[in-house]
């Protein structure tokens, strides 16, 4: 059985004052029966870990550079995230792909760097509204998967997040049928490439997941948790999603 994962992506939100939300969350879920991860901005990773104390909650980065070190002003390596105490890193988020022109090739190199540093890579894939409207969703997601995931992917070092771009931050959620179709497709693609190991790889849904819609999404086949943006910023909201996942 795959252990479920509730992952929060704070994006470019979060100052020291917001760390209290992490403290609140650990108190609301003292002994969670799923994995919980929060990816705050890199500037507060260390203090987020202090706030989490000895709680099992994991902290992640939101991106890393493909190189270990060197002349890359402003960038952060996977090894640096690991050194700061992070256990995960989100890679290939659609906002990185759009804002920074990240290609599948770049995402694959970053994923290899994350693996080498001992981080769990949360690799994001997903179609735009244009792709969806032109019936190319599975083709696009299949290509992203094939080209963003390196060899050596395992359930222990990689999580896949399916995030339809048009559902991110819009309040518009994919239908349960759309989610089921893509998640089943991703599982099948992973099986073809990675064999039995595919059964251990968690596949998350992301895109306007809220406490109010989480339970029905988590009931869909091959949905092993969620990657949550807006609703991960407040402990009460994220807690509702975690509670839904724990009972799914
Ligand atoms: P959202 O973001 O939950 O605010 O839609 C999801 C994400 O971008 O990971």
Torsion of CA 119, 242, 234, 65, to 10 degrees: 20
What does residue 224 show for φ and ψ, rounded to 5 degrees? -105, 15
Per the CB < 8 A criterion, the answer to whether 79 and 59 are in contact is no
The pick from 5, 96, 208, 226 for probing ligand 1's pocket by mutation, whose C-beta has the most ligand atoms within 8 angstroms, reads 208
Please give the pLDDT value at position 1: 77
pLDDT of residue 150: 98
Question: In tens digits, what is the pLDDT along the chain, a chain of 248 residues?
Answer: 799 999 999 999 999 999 999 999 999 999 999 999 999 999 999 999 999 999 999 999 999 999 999 999 999 999 999 999 999 999 999 999 999 999 999 999 999 999 999 999 999 999 999 999 999 999 999 999 999 999 999 999 999 999 999 999 998 889 999 999 999 999 999 999 999 999 999 999 999 999 999 999 999 999 999 999 999 999 999 999 999 999 99
Ligand 1 neighbourhood includes 206 CB (under 6 angstroms): yes
163 carries an active-site annotation: yes
Q: What is the pLDDT of residue 200?
A: 98
**Which pLDDT belongs to residue 248?**
93
Alpha helix (H) residue ranges in 135-213: 137-148, 176-194
- 0.85 surpassed by pTM: yes
Specify whether the CB–CB gap between 119 and 86 falls below 8 A. Answer: yes
pLDDT on residue 40: 98
- CA atoms of 88 and 120, how far apart (whole Å): 4
Ligand 1 close to Cβ of residue 6 (< 6 A):
no
Residue 200: what are its φ and ψ, rounded to 5°? -95, -5
Predicted pLDDT of residue 18 = 97
Ligand 1 in reach of 63 Cβ (< 6 A): no
What pLDDT is attached to residue 75? 98
Closest ligand 1 atom, CA of 168?
5
Burial of 92 (0-12, 13-18, 19+ CB in 10 A): buried
Q: What is the pLDDT of residue 181?
A: 98
End-to-end alpha-carbon separation of the chain, Å?
13
Residue owning tokens 């890199």: 42
C-alpha 68 to ligand 1 mean position (Å): 28
Assess whether the C-beta atom of 208 lies below 6 angstroms from ligand 1.
yes
Task: Decide: 169 in ligand 1 pocket, CB within 6 A.
Answer: yes
Q: DSSP string of 26-44?
A: HHHTSS-SSEEEEE--GGG
Ligand 1 centre to CA of 104 (Å) is: 20
């Amino acid at each position: 059985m795959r252990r479920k994962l509730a992952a929060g992506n704070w994006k470019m939100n979060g100052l020291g004052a917001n760390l209290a939300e992490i403290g609140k969350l650990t108190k609301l879920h003292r002994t969670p029966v799923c994995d919980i991860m929060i990816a705050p901005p890199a500037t507060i990773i260390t203090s987020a870990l202090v706030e989490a104390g000895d709680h099992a909650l994991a902290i992640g980065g939101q991106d890393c550079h493909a190189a270990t070190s060197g002349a890359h002003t402003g960038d952060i390596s996977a090894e640096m995230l690991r050194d700061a105490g992070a256990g995960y890193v989100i890679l290939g988020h659609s906002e990185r792909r759009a804002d920074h022109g990240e290609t599948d090739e770049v995402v694959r190199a970053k994923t290899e760097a994350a693996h080498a540093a001992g981080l769990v890579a949360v690799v994001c894939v997903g179609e735009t509204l244009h792709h969806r409207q032109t019936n190319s969703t599975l083709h696009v997601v299949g290509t992203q998967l094939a080209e963003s995931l390196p060899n050596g992917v395992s359930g222990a070092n990689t999580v896949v997040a399916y995030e339809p771009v048009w559902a991110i931050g819009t309040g518009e959620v994919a239908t349960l049928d759309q989610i089921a179709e893509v998640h089943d497709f991703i599982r099948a693609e992973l099986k073809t490439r990675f064999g039995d190991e595919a059964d251990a790889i968690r596949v998350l849904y992301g895109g306007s997941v809220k406490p109010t819609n989480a339970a029905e999404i988590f009931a869909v086949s091959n949905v092993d948790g969620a990657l949550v943006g807006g609703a991960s910023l407040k402990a009460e909201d994220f807690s509702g999603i975690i509670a839904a996942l724990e009972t799914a």
